[in-house]
Amino acid sequence: MKKSFGRNFKAWAFSSMALFFGATIVGCVDDVPQENRFTFKGELISTYLENNPDRFSNFIAILDKAKIGKKSSGSILKTLSTYGSYTCFAPTNGAVEKYLQDEYDKYVASVDSNRIDPTYPIYRTGINSPYLEDLTDSMSAVIAKNHIIEMGYMTADVSAGAFPMSTMNRRSTLIEFEADSTGRVYPVLNGNARIIEQDLEMENGYIQIVDAVLSPSDRNTSELIEQHKSFSLMSKAITATGLDSLLNIYEIDPNYDNTLYGPAFETQNKQQPPYPVEKKQKYTFLLETDDLLADPTKNHLGMSIQSIEDLEAFAREWYPCDDNIIGKYSNPENPLYKFIAYHIIDRKLLYSSSTGSGGFLLENYNHKDFNSEVNLPTAFDRYDYFETMLPYTMVKVTKPFTNDSEYIPYGSETPSSLKQQIVINYAQDMGTRCNNPNMRYHLNVVVEDAATSKRRPGLEEGFSQEAINGIIHTIDKILIYNEDEMVGNVLKERMRWDIMSIFPELTSNGVRWAQQDTYTLTYIPDEFSSRLKTNNSDTHIYYLRPHATGLGGYVNFQGDELLVTGKYDFQYRIPYVPAGNYEIRFGFSQSNARGVAQFYLDGNICGIPVDMRNTADNQITIGWFDEEGMSDEEIRENDKAMRNRGWMKAPASCHMTAEKESMRESVLAIRRVIGTYRLDPGDHWLRFKDVMENSTGKLNEFNQDYIEIVPTSVINDPTTPEDIY
């Protein structure tokens, strides 16, 4: 359970987070003020650790040396003596000693190897001694911050994947659950640290006692893959194609200033929201292990793929090319290059979004009275689409809640169900058919959780997933892209993106779905996302995080929204889809705070301006109708009349209340049909310009909730008319 502390100090907890935000981001607080300390009798995290020196004296020394920030003299130990809300992963004395000795041994071994072979890299982590007293202040800060989350969490309320918030070091704390020989289930963090005592409740948070120091890898994605022998073939292919240079990118804007705040927002209590806390490039890599590639039953050719040449030969079956391209692995037209590029997703995706920011799909997210399981009920499949590094391609990611098929995870004797899995390129008809019979080996590819990955040969002793610039996941089938199959099967459907999903930087940098109490909004500065551009200096763009919804107020698809203010003129690139004809739709929430916008696609005007205000005249223009007392035929006729005007009701698959009232029932939630267009490979930009008369100084917010891109073949098929969901 996420907890605000102390027991009767909820307001204090929130104010303390604001204080700490200023200390860590602005960096102008030198010490913890005396008036911010607890005066009641319960133990704080700091006092519990100090009262048990036989177990935690080493960790206490590290916390005491660790400073909050470069401009702050306050230690992290002092921070844990204040009111607030924290999760502290506390390594035992033995764990700290082992960590220092192991790091020192690796350093010494690498120095010895370097003397023999100067090309051998020296292992540098900043630890050149096994003694605690030799640990530098900067390294102490790194270790300490890897063990602190600025919100209290019980392990019982965290799903397999990761803790909902990142650590003070802005790294994910991955979690899985393993049983020992006695049957006792332990939470395991980052693949190797067991929580041996769980959920010790303090006045300002929870202590989780761990048997190893948490030390997320400081390697980039390609280096982390190379570290695991189970990925030796994929690692060689990444290097051969030159895509390792892409996976080295992390720092994309060294001058990015995260201490800034955006303009105050009029209708959100005039709060001045912060910039995102970081601007980094991150990736997700979907990986086949060596044992999977070597299994001839996993592909229609019956190949045992054990070399780069084998992998290229297999890939050529799906990515045809001229003979003169073969062997030229770094050529983007080479089959091996295309094969590897399609495995790289354009953002960092954690296994579960109950982890907060950065999950594959929105699941078990409950924050500020927004509950994803009310909003997106399991009576419908849950899905999203993400672009890959293979130009103009994407993967579809699904939790197929409507599929009752049995699924047995690798190495398990206990059957599960497909509906509980994260599935890549889930096929139509509940995954039971494919147009190309050979694609049956390569559709419905399951992303394996960490516990399953660790049953793969070579990963049993530890699976380090998180790189400094991304994360790796194992998969259970060989993943390939086939245009005909995507067009005629996987993507032959109404595709719907939450608008905030199409900007990968928001997911990778902890903006989207972040669980933050202090701010409802995050300001998105110009050029923060490569897919979002402002055309004038009067455009101010905000991310509105998930918040309470209801038929009488806010209604939306996945809780969050894009909000824009000022005399705006901006544009974003729509997602890549296979070449074809599509209807594009714009989903938003009407409000008296909204304005009037002109839409453009690729510089061409799209119809007349769209009035987004909630007025009586506007509702007449739209033709929205109350369905109560209507027959099914009358509802269909009224839906048709709305479409003839260029409008649609919101989808019925999204519920706003626990009583299962859907967005379709709200007069405020609406879809505007922008038009039908031919989309060929390349960038396509939607532009929005404020055209409300005399709008300066008035409320003229722009709002978007989601975008739909629907193949006309789906809309025009009389045998399967589009449903209301």
How many C-beta atoms lie closer than 10 Å to residue 2's C-beta?
19
Phi/psi of residue 247, each to 5°? -75, 0
Closest CA to 548 of 383, 374, 701, 669: 374
Domain finish residue from 466, 490, 514: 490
How many domains does the structure of the chain reveal?
A: 3
Q: Same structural domain for residues 575 and 707?
A: yes
More confident residue, 455 or 10: 455
The Cα-based distances of 388 to 93, 284, 396, 442, 507 in angstroms read 44, 9, 11, 16, 15
pLDDT-derived band at 40 (thresholds 50, 70, 90) equals very low
More confident residue, 696 or 222: 222
User: Average of pLDDT values for 538-542?
Assistant: 96
Are the C-beta atoms of 568 and 704 separated by less than 8 Å?
Answer: no
Q: Is residue 410 part of a domain?
A: yes
User: Average of pLDDT values for 407-422?
Assistant: 93
**268-277, 296-305, 613-622: least confident range:** 268-277
What are the helix and strand counts (H, E) for the chain?
19, 34
Q: Same structural domain for residues 452 and 563?
A: no
Token output for 481: 């892209």
Phi/psi of residue 629, each to 5°? 85, -5
Q: Is residue 215 part of a domain?
A: no
Residues ≥6 apart with Cβ < 8 Å to 59 = 49, 90, 91, 92, 93, 96, 147
Q: Which amino acid is at 46?
A: S
Q: What does the DSSP 8-state code read for residue 274?
A: B
Q: Same structural domain for residues 518 and 393?
A: no
Bin 534: left if φ > 0, else alpha if -120 < ψ < 50, else beta.
Answer: beta
More confident residue, 145 or 431: 145
Token output for 266: 């009029």
Domain finish residue from 459, 490, 521: 490
User: Average of pLDDT values for 301-308?
Assistant: 97
Residue 8 pLDDT exceeds 80: no
Residue 257 pLDDT exceeds 60: yes
What is the per-residue pLDDT for 268? 67
pLDDT-derived band at 5 (thresholds 50, 70, 90) equals very low
Q: Is residue 437 part of a domain?
A: yes
Q: Same structural domain for residues 309 and 439?
A: yes
Q: Is residue 20 part of a domain?
A: yes
N residues, the chain = 725
The Cα-based distances of 153 to 85, 158, 236, 344, 394 in angstroms read 9, 8, 40, 31, 35
Are the C-beta atoms of 152 and 133 separated by less than 8 Å?
Answer: no
Helix axes 232-241, 308-316, angle to 10 degrees: 70
pLDDT-derived band at 696 (thresholds 50, 70, 90) equals low
Residue 570 pLDDT exceeds 50: yes
- pTM given for the model: 0.89
Average pLDDT, whole number, for the chain?
Answer: 88
User: Average of pLDDT values for 30-44?
Assistant: 48
Domain of residue 644 covers 495-715
Q: Same structural domain for residues 474 and 522?
A: no
pLDDT tens digits along 61-94: 999 999 887 555 689 999 999 888 899 999 999 9
Q: Is residue 73 part of a domain?
A: yes
Q: Same structural domain for residues 185 and 250?
A: no
In 3-state terms, the chain is what percent helix, strand and coil (to 5)? 25, 25, 50
More confident residue, 208 or 23: 208
pLDDT tens digits along 345-404: 999 999 875 655 688 998 888 877 788 888 899 999 999 999 999 999 999 999 999 999
More confident residue, 360 or 547: 360
Alpha helices in 86-167 (DSSP H): 93-116, 137-145
Q: Same structural domain for residues 398 and 475?
A: yes
**25-29, 317-321, 539-543, 605-609: least confident range:** 25-29
Token output for 208: 């989780």
Are the C-beta atoms of 292 and 476 separated by less than 8 Å?
Answer: yes
Phi/psi of residue 634, each to 5°? -65, -40
Per-residue 3-state assignment (H helix, E strand, C coil) for 296-311: HHHCCCCCCCCCHHHH
Domain finish residue from 490, 514, 535: 490
State the Cα–Cα distance between residues 315 and 318, nearest whole angstrom: 5
Q: Same structural domain for residues 524 and 479?
A: no
Residue 6 pLDDT exceeds 70: no
What is the per-residue pLDDT for 36? 33
Are the C-beta atoms of 144 and 66 separated by less than 8 Å?
Answer: yes
Q: Is residue 359 part of a domain?
A: no
What is the per-residue pLDDT for 159? 79
pLDDT-derived band at 12 (thresholds 50, 70, 90) equals very low
Kindly state the percentage of the chain with pLDDT values over 70: 91
pLDDT-derived band at 14 (thresholds 50, 70, 90) equals very low
What is the per-residue pLDDT for 10? 28
Q: Is residue 411 part of a domain?
A: yes
CATH number of the domain at 190, please: 2.30.180.10
CATH number of the domain at 525, please: 2.60.120.260
Phi/psi of residue 417, each to 5°? -135, 150
- Strands (E) across 378-505 are located at 382-387, 394-399, 406-407, 416-417, 422-424, 445-447, 466-467, 470-474, 495-498
Q: Same structural domain for residues 486 and 514?
A: no
Closest CA to 236 of 295, 303, 287, 299: 287
> Hey, is 533 helix, strand or coil?
strand
Q: Same structural domain for residues 297 and 419?
A: yes
Kindly state the percentage of the chain with pLDDT values over 90: 67
> What residue has token string 């005066």?
39
User: Average of pLDDT values for 111-121?
Assistant: 85
Residue 33 pLDDT exceeds 60: no
pLDDT-derived band at 433 (thresholds 50, 70, 90) equals confident
Closest CA to 396 of 440, 360, 430: 360
What is the per-residue pLDDT for 370? 83
Q: Same structural domain for residues 249 and 136?
A: no
Residue 187 pLDDT exceeds 50: yes
What is the per-residue pLDDT for 531? 97
User: Average of pLDDT values for 622-636?
Assistant: 94
What is the per-residue pLDDT for 519? 73
What is the per-residue pLDDT for 30? 37
What is the per-residue pLDDT for 657? 81
pLDDT tens digits along 125-141: 888 889 999 999 999 99
Q: Same structural domain for residues 205 and 227?
A: no
Residue 150 pLDDT exceeds 60: yes
Q: Is residue 128 part of a domain?
A: yes
